[in-house]
Amino acid sequence: MAVTILAIESSCDDTSAAVVRDGHILSNLIAGQDIHMSYGGVVPELASRAHQANIVPVVDQALRRAGTDVEEIDAVAFTRGPGLLGSLLVGTSFAKGFALARDIPLIDVNHLQAHALVHFIPEKDGMTRLPEFPFLCLIVSGGHTRLIVMKNHLDMETIGNTIDDAAGEAFDKCGKLMDLLYPAGPLIDKLASRGNSKAFSFAKPKVKDLDFSFSGLKTSFLYFLNDKLKDDPRFIEKNRADLCASLQETIVSMLISKLIKASQLTGIKEIGIAGGVSANSGLRNGLALEAEKRGWNLFIPPLSYTTDNAAMIGIAAYYKYLRGEFTGQDVAPQARY
Ligand code: KG4
Ligand code: ZN
């Protein structure tokens, strides 16, 4: 019998709902929150209020687009963490209420695991190329920069992590210094395509093993700009594309070098990227070149599955459903998972 799951994602600033049947995505709706744009980052209180306003219409649309009736939903899944507590609470409470009202199982999902599982979403044409295990995945977003090894769909081990900021945060914070609206990552990517990546160079921190660090880059970028602005108050305006290209090159090369190291240390050549920053064209192109050189079987997610979405929560929940891993009404969201 087919298994139909309603999945909810509300860990940060996107309210998303998806309907997933037997691991296939029937619908995936995302309501973003432009309200954070002028603040240079997500304002937690505003995010949870927006989730509260969006959750019911988004779920309603997801069910409609999937052509599914509430009676057909066999289980409801939600992001338990990591994320912003107030945001997580909205999705968690909605899912609990839905499960209780319909008397169906409740499935809690780890947001990071879900990001990596986008590589296991079958494409509509059925021609999906799936990774084999063990699978090495770099999860890189506004909140995380983490290297994981997946032994199967649900068991993952972290082998590298950021010791301070996430890579997406470095994009966003440096973007703010250049007067770009939040989230600056996509804008920097776009401007970088017109710039010279060798125009400026920024120091890359030496971090041990497979860990990352991005807070120093933000500081050196700030000092560099302040120095240049003393001589020319229009320095940013005149050099924005070159600044973006050079910054992107610095961040991307830090990510790629750790991924190469991780592959060498683990011997794994089944490699993927996931999370918001995996949309970055510099990272995607750079990794495609490395994959060819090193014989990697590389998995790059479709753009629609890079940023936060409920389809990934639904696919993770499907594998948990198959294992019978459900949770109770006493479950609480966890900001740190
Ligand atoms: O996965 P995501 O939607 O949310 C988190 O879990 O953080 O990622 C959002 C992050 C933001 O920092 C945004 O600037 C970054 O992903 N991002 C990008 C690009 N698209 C989104 N960074 C660089 N280049 C992009 N094209
Ligand atoms: Zn995320």
Whether residue 168 is found in the same domain as residue 292:
yes
Q: Name the phi and psi angles at 307, rounded to 5.
A: -80, 175
Whether residue 290 is found in the same domain as residue 167:
yes
Residue 126: band (very low, low, confident or very high) from pLDDT cuts 50, 70, 90:
low
CA atoms within 13 A on the CB side of 309: 26
Q: Which H/E stretch holds residue 241? A: helix 235-266
> What is the average per-residue pLDDT within 55-78?
98
Whether residue 87 is found in the same domain as residue 189:
no
Residue 73: band (very low, low, confident or very high) from pLDDT cuts 50, 70, 90:
very high
Q: Rg for the chain (alpha carbons), in Å?
A: 20
CA distance linking residue 337 with residue 334, whole number of Å: 6
Residue ranges around ligand 1 (CB below 6 Å): 12, 141-143, 168, 171-172, 183-186, 189, 275-277, 279-280, 307-308
Provide the residue type at 233 as one letter.
Answer: P
Whether residue 180 is found in the same domain as residue 95:
no
> What is the average per-residue pLDDT within 250-269?
98
CA of 265 from ligand 2 middle (Å) equals 26
CA of 304 from ligand 2 middle (Å) equals 13
Whether residue 198 is found in the same domain as residue 85:
no
CB burial readout 84-114, b (16+ within 10 A) else e:
bbbbbbbbbebbbebbeeeebbbbbbbbbbb
Q: Does residue 257 surpass a pLDDT of 90?
A: yes
pLDDT, tens digit (0-9, with 9 covering 90-100), for 184-234 = 999 999 999 999 999 999 989 999 999 999 999 999 999 999 999 999 999
Sheet holding 15-21, edge to edge: 24-31, 15-21, 4-9, 75-81, 106-110
How many C-beta atoms lie closer than 10 Å to residue 256's C-beta? 18
Establish if 330 belongs to a structural domain.
no
Whether residue 143 is found in the same domain as residue 268:
yes
The reported pLDDT for the residue numbered 50 is 94
CA of 262 from ligand 1 middle (Å) equals 22
Q: Does residue 150 surpass a pLDDT of 70?
A: yes
Comparing 70-74, 78-82, 124-128, 313-317, which segment has the lowest mean pLDDT? 124-128
Q: What is the domain extent for residue 109?
A: 4-125+306-322
Whether residue 22 is found in the same domain as residue 81:
yes
Pick the atom of ligand 1 nearest to 190's CA: 26
Whether residue 184 is found in the same domain as residue 121:
no
Establish if 60 belongs to a structural domain.
yes
pTM (2 d.p.): 0.95
Establish if 327 belongs to a structural domain.
no
Establish if 291 belongs to a structural domain.
yes
Whether residue 93 is found in the same domain as residue 150:
no
Ligand 1: residue whose CA is nearest its atom 23:
185
CA of 280 from ligand 1 middle (Å) equals 8
Establish if 328 belongs to a structural domain.
no
Provide the residue type at 180 as one letter.
Answer: L
Cβ-Cβ contacts under 8 Å for 203 (sequence gap 6 or more): 216, 217, 220
Q: Does residue 23 surpass a pLDDT of 90?
A: yes
CB burial readout 21-52, b (16+ within 10 A) else e:
bebbbbbbbbbbbeebeeebbbbbeebbbbbb
Mutational test site, ligand 1, from 144, 146, 277, 300, max ligand atoms within 8 Å of CB? 277
Domain count, the chain: 2
The reported pLDDT for the residue numbered 305 is 96
Which CATH number goes with the domain that contains 66? 3.30.420.40
Whether residue 182 is found in the same domain as residue 163:
yes
> What is the average per-residue pLDDT within 276-304?
97
Cβ atoms of 75 and 5 within 8 Å: the answer is yes
Mutational test site, ligand 1, from 171, 177, 189, max ligand atoms within 8 Å of CB? 171
> What is the average per-residue pLDDT within 286-291?
98
Establish if 249 belongs to a structural domain.
yes
The reported pLDDT for the residue numbered 127 is 65
Whether residue 317 is found in the same domain as residue 288:
no
CA of 227 from ligand 2 middle (Å) equals 35
Establish if 255 belongs to a structural domain.
yes
Establish if 20 belongs to a structural domain.
yes
CA of 25 from ligand 2 middle (Å) equals 18
Whether residue 313 is found in the same domain as residue 297:
no
